[in-house]
Amino acid sequence: MVNGTRVVVTGTGMLTSLGQSTRETWEQIKAGRSGTRRIEAFDPSGMPSQVASEVQDFKPEVSLGRKEARRMSRFVQLAMVATREAMAESGLVINEENRDQVGVLVASAIGGLQQIEEAHQVLVDRGPDRVSPFTVPMMIADMAAGQISIAVGARGPNFAITSACASGAHAVGEAFETIRRGDAVAMIAGASESAVTPLALAAFCAIRAVSVQKIDPSRASRPFDLERDGFVMGEGAGILILEALEHARRRKATILAEVVGYAATADASHITAPDPVGAGAALAMRRTLEKARVAPRAVSYINAHGTATQLGDVAETLAIKEVFGEAAYRIPISSTKSMLGHLLGAAGSVEAILCVKAVQEGVAPPTINLEHPDPQCDLDYVADGARELDVRLALSNSFGFGGHNASLLFKQFA
């Protein structure tokens, strides 16, 4: 293989607040349902924000076994279960013949924050001798990638990316490039996050990044709405099986979509705020389209980063206008964070899967809770419910604190 190898998606797996499979989540997304509720992982009383989009009724011991599940932090458990679904859909079998050619690139922005908080409390209350020896492997952000490779026997490229809320998109994009340059024939790619913890929520409240509206939780995430006041924390995992086209064809795999573009850029502007006019975001989108040799007007749908922050939604809107010109007003755009909340490092990979489903089924997901449009956000955000259309090319945007930007482009396979 040489640079330029076509890369396709043959399997997906997902756990979110709306379902514990890709199908469950996708059906709820099309129906415009919200997964946001009052936090159940801990008592949020006293916090300015008290809502999140948590994975409900998750029983990892059923899939992973009680002993193994106890030795994994929640973000690893989520990634492992999502991987099993993706592998099952793909039908990819890893054996002695191909195991050196299959890699794992699974990201997390934060890793096992819950374990860090709990271990610190043990240290303070009971002393250093009582800190668990499993603390380190449960807290580090690369452990989902490591555990997955051990479980499936994949010995190809194996690592994690940490780039804040762009982590999942970067993971999928870099896995795509890994196959294109010939370092693997298949990659297990995506991200997982489970950071709905007291420390994380308090910290995001401290920088006024999350919604503190005292309304029905399902209405708290309001991308592009004039009354938006921040994002809603979420958790979950999204895993994709990427393969070189020739490898997928050789084993007669069902191809869900093709990955045709990826680019990563930086704002070089501010540690938490986006570039005011979205210059870095625009560059990521423009480079993605150029590398895919796609004209802006050919894009059928954009899954926006759309976090419902005051600055972010305006900057992304301006960036889309800069790249797409007049065509920006004709392209359906939606923020699925209005339903799933913001999965932080896992957002990009989950939203990549939603783009794959949009391409497969010809449906643009809605943006819910957009009741009072911000005059500065004046594009078509699919506020009137899911829309059926021919989605030939779907673009997914992900941006993160530190000025990290990533865009991915998915195409109907033909």
Active site residues: 165, 305, 342
Residue 279 and residue 46: Cα distance in Å, rounded?
Answer: 38
Q: Which amino acid is at 76?
A: V
Tokens 């070189």 map to which residue? 244
Give the sign of the dihedral formed by CA 86, CA 87, CA 92, CA 95: positive
The 3-state DSSP class for residue 59 equals: coil
| Virtual torsion, Cα 387, 388, 389, 391, nearest 10 deg | 90
Phi and psi (nearest 5°) for 392?
Answer: -85, -35
Closest Cα partner for 326 from 288, 296, 351, 370? 296
Bridge partners, 404 (sequence order): 266, 400
Residue 409 and residue 414: Cα distance in Å, rounded?
Answer: 15
Alpha helices in 264-406 (DSSP H): 279-292, 310-324, 337-340, 347-361
